[in-house]
């Protein structure tokens, strides 16, 4: 069956913002414009659909945003989308505005919304945008590289002062229930220990003993990374202090990890994925998520992205453990 020609699409960003979301919006708007498809920007995620918070976009309205952090369309988490009433309102807005397809950039909550809307007959394509890199079917999510680099830059600064005072810095890194960001950051800063929700550790052997051995071998300060999904950084610091007597300081990097100009990797990935999302709609696809798989951009059923939990990169985990001595 011949698919319906796409004349107008919508684009939204939803959930926690991620550096590179603007670059996705730019790629979507420019790809659509080049194919004579008009674009409506839906502001504040799905609540913009429910409340009709919509702007018209054109190739020139996205000039200069590729280098900007945040999202020009704003973002929000929208519990109303989980109700039948909210979902129906969102679908009705799409119908009323003549939206032939919707591109939704965000994480798993965003994809759940896209899946539900697809089932209501609105063709939806998800683009993975989250600093957590926790979408199982995609090797990469937009924003991860920038967040990783931001955290590394901050922790390198912490190391200077920890070294001067011979302290241990316990740093909480974002990631919600996932430890991908913490693992990569821990590796890149040369942490003594990295505590992750996905891997059980023996605190005495893997943290305390390592620190004691480090001391004997002349290491006078430490960085310990705690993924936010692992537990409280303060309790980790207290435990270290009680067991070793080392002076500890806690830093929660928090939302600073979500800001800043996207790295070239995030700009490029956003451009490739935003382009692919429009192409997917033009090909008549729906309920798909754009993913990076073995260095290739492709698309998969959204269900695949939501059904399982993404495991940590085991090679990276082992390498990081091996060198943290």
Query: What residues act catalytically?
Result: 132
For ligand F6P, the closer CB: 107 or 305: 107
The nearer residue to ligand F6P, 53 or 132, going by C-beta atoms, is 132
Could you say whether residue 174 binds ligand F6P (CB under 6 A)? Answer: yes
Q: Which two tokens stand for residue 156?
A: 């390198």
**Binding ligand F6P by CB under 6 A: which of 41, 45, 128, 175?**
175
Q: Among residues 10, 86, 107, 186, which is the contact residue for ligand F6P, using CB under 6 A?
A: 107
- For residue 287, the minimal CB distance to ligand F6P (Å) is 22
- How far is C-alpha 89 from the geometric centre of its chain's CA atoms? 27
Using the rule CB under 6 A, is 131 a contact of ligand F6P?
A: yes
CB of 213 to ligand F6P, least distance (A): 32
Q: Which stretch in 60-68, 95-103, 114-122, 173-181 sits in contact with ligand F6P by CB under 6 A?
A: 173-181
Question: Is 132 one of the binding residues for ligand F6P (CB under 6 A)?
Answer: yes
Nearest distance from C-beta of residue 59 to ligand F6P, angstroms: 30
- Does 258 contact ligand F6P by CB under 6 A? yes
- Interatomic CA distance for residues 185 and 274, integer angstroms: 27
Residue 130 touches ligand F6P, criterion: CB under 6 A:
yes
* Interface positions with ligand F6P (CB under 6 A): 16, 107, 130-132, 174-176, 228, 258
């Amino acid at each position: 069956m011949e698919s319906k020609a796409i004349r107008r699409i919508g684009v939204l960003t939803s959930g926690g913002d991620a550096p590179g979301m603007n670059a996705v919006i730019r790629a979507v708007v420019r790809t659509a414009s080049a194919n004579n498809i008009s674009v409506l920007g839906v502001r504040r995620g799905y609540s913009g659909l429910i409340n009709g918070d919509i702007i018209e976009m054109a190739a020139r309205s996205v000039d200069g945003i590729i280098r900007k952090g945040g999202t020009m369309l704003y973002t929000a988490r929208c519990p109303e989308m989980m109700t039948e009433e909210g979902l129906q309102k969102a679908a009705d807005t799409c119908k009323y505005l003549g939206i032939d397809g919707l591109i939704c950039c965000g994480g798993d909550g965003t994809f759940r919304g896209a899946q539900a809307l697809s089932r209501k007959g609105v063709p939806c394509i998800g683009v993975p945008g989250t600093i957590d890199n926790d979408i199982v079917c995609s090797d990469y999510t937009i924003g991860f590289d920038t967040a990783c680099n931001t955290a590394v830059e901050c922790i390198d600064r912490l190391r200077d002062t920890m070294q001067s005072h011979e302290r241990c810095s316990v740093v909480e890194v974002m990631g919600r229930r996932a430890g991908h960001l913490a693992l990569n950051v821990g590796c890149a800063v040369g942490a003594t220990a990295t505590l992750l929700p996905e891997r059980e550790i023996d605190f005495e052997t893997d943290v305390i003993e390592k620190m004691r051995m480090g001391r004997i071998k002349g290491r006078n300060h430490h960085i310990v990374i705690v993924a936010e999904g692992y537990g409280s950084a303060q309790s980790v610091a207290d435990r270290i202090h009680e067991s070793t007597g080392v002076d500890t300081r806690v830093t929660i990097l928090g939302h600073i990890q979500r800001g800043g100009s996207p790295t070239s990797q995030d700009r490029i990935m956003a451009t490739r994925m935003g382009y692919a999302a429009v192409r997917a709609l033009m090909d008549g696809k729906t309920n798909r998520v754009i993913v990076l798989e073995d260095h290739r951009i492709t698309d998969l059923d959204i269900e695949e992205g939501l059904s399982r939990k993404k495991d940590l990169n085991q090679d990276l985990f082992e390498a990081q453990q091996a060198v943290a001595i």
